[in-house]
Copies of this chain bind each other. A is one copy, B any other.
């Protein structure tokens, strides 16, 4: 049997209510507070959160439902969310769906049962669609991935713009046959594909793209498929897992980067700068995404009827050797260009 507030009250010679007040913010005389604190120490008392939540009808918790805890993008965002929540005196319930809509549904149900105050969610496409018909009971902020338009607050990257920036950069470097590989489980993959399509069209170039599962293995299959449809000079991947898969596949095929194939993608993970000749990527502002999501959630909790807000953040292009210019390729320069970056 664990010690309860009654035990502490008895030990301190006060009522349970006084113990509660001494531990919380109620008005208590300094003398009694000291007695209570001493009794807490003596008994080793730890309040029972289940009881507290049941009585106060507040969970003091927000939910964070992510698609892939192995993806540094999401762990980075999770860090920021947790820091912001901590500063606000809230706990974070973190769940990992592994891109599985069934698990996603189970976790959304769990969040209701936990009575979390609000939810930050990176939904798969399937869940995102269902969100319109069966919205969760609590405020929701979508991150990274779009949902049904106008229904939920959201924090998104300017995905179309970012894809277009990559295409523009590749074209400026002299590439023409640019293929794209995009994740099929997320709305983000779709948006990035659209940006790619639009940019290719703007340059009068023919798009060549494929949607695959967002895994390195799937990327290797996609690589083969893209190669068959007309010898691309460059490839774009819509996330870092796919990017890694493309790099591996290119290596496996004996292609040299960027001499035989240029490469660009999303997320400035450490390895993209470590691998020779460095991989050009769009860096996403992880910290800002997490903070902004929390800010939107707080404001929604404060004023539930406020209009829906969609915040679009810009990425930063980090240019590296994997997209060195065609001229540099022709001169057979093996030197890595100095990395540079610009904000979209």
CB-CB < 8 A to A276: which residues of B? Answer: 275-276
Contact A76 B72 (CB under 8 A): no
CB-CB < 8 A to A72: which residues of B? Answer: 70
Number of A residues near B (Cβ < 8 Å) is 38
Known: A69-B79, A96-B82. A113 touches B49 (CB 8 A): yes
Known: A82-B96, A109-B46. A70 touches B59 (CB 8 A): no
Q: How many copies does the complex hold?
A: 2
Interface stretch of the complex, out of A50-58, A223-231, A296-304: A50-58
CB-CB < 8 A to A53: which residues of B? Answer: 50
Q: Which residue of B lies closest to A54 (CB)?
A: B50
Contact of A50 among B50, B112, B216, B270 (CB under 8 A): B50
Interface of A is mostly: helix
Contact A244 B216 (CB under 8 A): no
Interface members, chain A 66-94 (any B CB < 8 Å): 69-70, 72, 75-76, 78-79, 82, 91, 93-94
Q: Which residues of A contact B (CB under 8 A)?
A: 2, 46-51, 53-54, 59, 69-70, 72, 75-76, 78-79, 82, 91, 93-94, 96, 109-110, 112-115, 137, 216, 244, 247-248, 270-271, 274-276
Besides A2-B115, A46-B137, 6 other A-B contacts (C-beta < 8 A): A46-B109, A54-B54, A79-B96, A94-B94, A247-B274, A274-B274
Please, could you name 26 A-B residue pairs with CB atoms under 8 Å apart, sorted by A?
A2-B137, A46-B112, A46-B113, A47-B113, A48-B113, A48-B115, A49-B113, A49-B114, A50-B50, A50-B51, A50-B53, A50-B59, A69-B75, A69-B78, A69-B79, A70-B72, A70-B75, A70-B76, A82-B96, A91-B110, A244-B274, A247-B274, A270-B271, A274-B274, A275-B276, A276-B276
